[in-house]
Amino acid sequence: MFSSLHSTDPDVFTIVSREGQRQNENIELTASANFVSRAVLEATGSLLTNKVAEGYPGRRYFSGCEYIDEIENLAIARAKKLFGAAYVNVEPYSGSQANQAVYLSVLKPGDCLLSMDLGHGGHLSHGAKATMTGKNYDCHFYHVNPETERLDYEQILALAEKIRPKLIIAGASSYPRLIDFQRFREIADQVGALLLADIAHIAGLIAVGLHPSPIPHAHFVTTTTQKTLRGPRGGMILLGEHSAEEWGRKLNSGIFPGMQGAVHMHTIAAKAVMLKEALDPSFAIYQRRNLDNASTLAEELTNRGFRLVSGGTDNHLMLLDLRSKGITGKEAEERLFKVGITANKNLLPYDPEKPRVCSGIRLGTPAITTRGFGSEEMPCLADLIDKVLSDEPTAPTLDFVRKEVTRLCQLHPSVSQNYGDDSNGFHLKFQLTGKEVSR
Ligand code: DSN
């Protein structure tokens, strides 16, 4: 099939093709990764990228916005329906910018913010020293309980009473347990703080009721759209009925002109498509399988002698403590990479190692679940991980595991090696209700 990219720029075409091949031939266990549908991909690559628009539907600073207004309104309506929100802003370019827009709307430079420590599961954009947030605000951090490795709400309250933050952030990028947003709101109310829930990782689970929603509790909710939600790279801000009127307009100004310029309409169109897919009953089945895969993989790894932070998982990710195996997270990441398994090293709570080394590794199941991996394959996957991480693997072991990875990937193809070829293109096979669905 003819490809304009191929004829215009064979260099980029070749690199993209090779990345497609990498995605197809490797098992993706990065907890924040996923594969979008062909429809989301098509919207992301659509001619909407040509349109300049600033502001919001009906109130743009450019003319000719009648169709893109329709798309943005559609995305907003779908997001409201999916999450039961009263206000949605679909313009944030990313989750970090959605967070920064909240800070800009709520805080003054130097104001006090309380969030989860990065090494205990938090996120860079929640106030880490090296970031703009860390430099502009007085950031303090809560930690997980050293015994249970879970959020310790009494400790968070005690810290909040001491530092009196203006904003508390609930949300994480590597925390495997449920987050009690209602309890966080009680803490915020007790110290007169506002509450931001960052649900970037768990948004897909929340959308289908597999994790309690923060919408009725938090003053502000932010998310990315590319993780468990399985959409394009981007962010959203959502508010419940209780805070929409007070904060909606301020947040709109926080995004534009506060944080961003012209909107990325092609991405907003892709968000709209993702939201339609998420409103379909098959999305709840996908998320159920995602959770089943994560809990089965956690159990199988535990049976093989791995220690999991907090003893397991309630969501789509888990953290393996590799100290008892005598290797670092960095070494584990490198060994898994050699056999075609992609995952990232991760700091553990109270980790003695530096962030570039780490004592742990984070594994997540959203991407493999989209490919069609089921819980029946988790024992095999746990075996492969065990073979590579438990002892220094020999060349024959590495060879065996690589072949098994290839076998599993062939069983569940993700993307074509032949980028641009429609007949063999972005064809995700996904077992939903017993019948195979081409997406
Ligand atoms: N927040 C990072 C992660 O969790 O992997 C990237 O989106």
Tens-digit pLDDT profile for residues 190-224: 999 999 999 999 999 999 999 999 999 999 999 99
**β-sheet bridge partners, residue 198:** 222
The per-residue b/e assignment along 133-161, b for 16 or more CB within 10 angstroms, e otherwise, is bbebbbbbbbbbeeeebbbbeeebbebbe
Report the CATH architecture of 3-28+281-431.
Answer: Alpha-Beta Complex (3.90)
Which residue minimizes the CA distance to atom 4 of ligand 1? 173
Mutational pocket test of ligand 1: of 124, 173, 198, 230, the residue with most ligand atoms within 8 Å of the beta carbon = 173
Residue 211 among known ligand-binding residues: no
Domain ranges of the chain: 3-28+281-431, 43-279
pLDDT tens, residue by residue, 385-394: 999 999 999 9
The closest alpha carbon to 92, from 75, 107, 78, 106, belongs to: 75
Mutational pocket test of ligand 1: of 34, 94, 97, 123, the residue with most ligand atoms within 8 Å of the beta carbon = 123
Alpha helix locations (H) across 146-224? 153-163, 181-191, 203-207
Phi/psi at 179 (5° precision): -110, 130
How far away, in angstroms, is 173 Cα from ligand 1 center? 6
Phi/psi at 113 (5° precision): -130, 140
The per-residue b/e assignment along 366-403, b for 16 or more CB within 10 angstroms, e otherwise, is bbbbbbbbebebbbebbebbbbbbbeebeeeeeeebbe
The closest alpha carbon to 149, from 306, 311, 40, belongs to: 311
Q: What is the pLDDT of residue 369?
A: 97
- Tell which atom from ligand 1 comes closest to the C-alpha of 33: 5
How far away, in angstroms, is 2 Cα from ligand 1 center? 35
Q: What is the pLDDT of residue 142?
A: 98
Q: Is the pLDDT of residue 415 over 80?
A: no
Predicted confidence band at 180 (pLDDT cuts at 50, 70, 90)? very high
pLDDT tens, residue by residue, 260-282: 999 999 999 999 999 999 999 99
Phi/psi at 314 (5° precision): -110, -5
Which residue minimizes the CA distance to atom 3 of ligand 1? 32
**Spatial separation of the C-alpha atoms in residues 62 and 256, rounded to whole Å:** 14
For the whole model, what pTM was predicted? Answer: 0.94
- Tell which atom from ligand 1 comes closest to the C-alpha of 362: 5
Mutational pocket test of ligand 1: of 202, 227, 362, the residue with most ligand atoms within 8 Å of the beta carbon = 227
Pairing of strands 87-89, 235-239: antiparallel
**Spatial separation of the C-alpha atoms in residues 368 and 294, rounded to whole Å:** 10
Residue 124 among known ligand-binding residues: yes
Count of C-beta atoms within a 10 Å radius of residue 52: 15
Which residue minimizes the CA distance to atom 7 of ligand 1? 32
User: Mean per-residue pLDDT for 311-326?
Assistant: 97
pLDDT tens, residue by residue, 59-108: 999 999 999 999 999 999 999 999 999 999 999 999 999 999 999 999 99
Q: How many secondary structure helices (H) and strands (E) does the chain include?
A: 16, 17
How far away, in angstroms, is 332 Cα from ligand 1 center? 19
How far away, in angstroms, is 1 Cα from ligand 1 center? 35
Predicted confidence band at 432 (pLDDT cuts at 50, 70, 90)? very low
Alpha helix locations (H) across 201-257? 203-207, 241-253
Q: What is the pLDDT of residue 414?
A: 79
Check if the beta carbon of residue 29 is closer than 8 Å to that of residue 364: yes
Pocket of ligand 1 (CB under 6 A): 32, 123, 173
More confident residue, 399 or 418: 399
Which residue minimizes the CA distance to atom 5 of ligand 1? 32
Check if the beta carbon of residue 270 is closer than 8 Å to that of residue 232: yes
How far away, in angstroms, is 211 Cα from ligand 1 center? 19
How far away, in angstroms, is 402 Cα from ligand 1 center? 26
pLDDT tens, residue by residue, 124-160: 999 999 999 999 999 999 999 999 999 999 999 999 9
Give the CA radius of gyration of the chain: 22
Q: What is the pLDDT of residue 433?
A: 33
DSSP character string of 309-339: GGGS-SSSEEEEE-GGGT--HHHHHHHHHHT
- Tell which atom from ligand 1 comes closest to the C-alpha of 201: 4
How far away, in angstroms, is 40 Cα from ligand 1 center? 20
CATH numeric code, 43-279 = 3.40.640.10
How far away, in angstroms, is 123 Cα from ligand 1 center? 8
User: Mean per-residue pLDDT for 164-180?
Assistant: 98
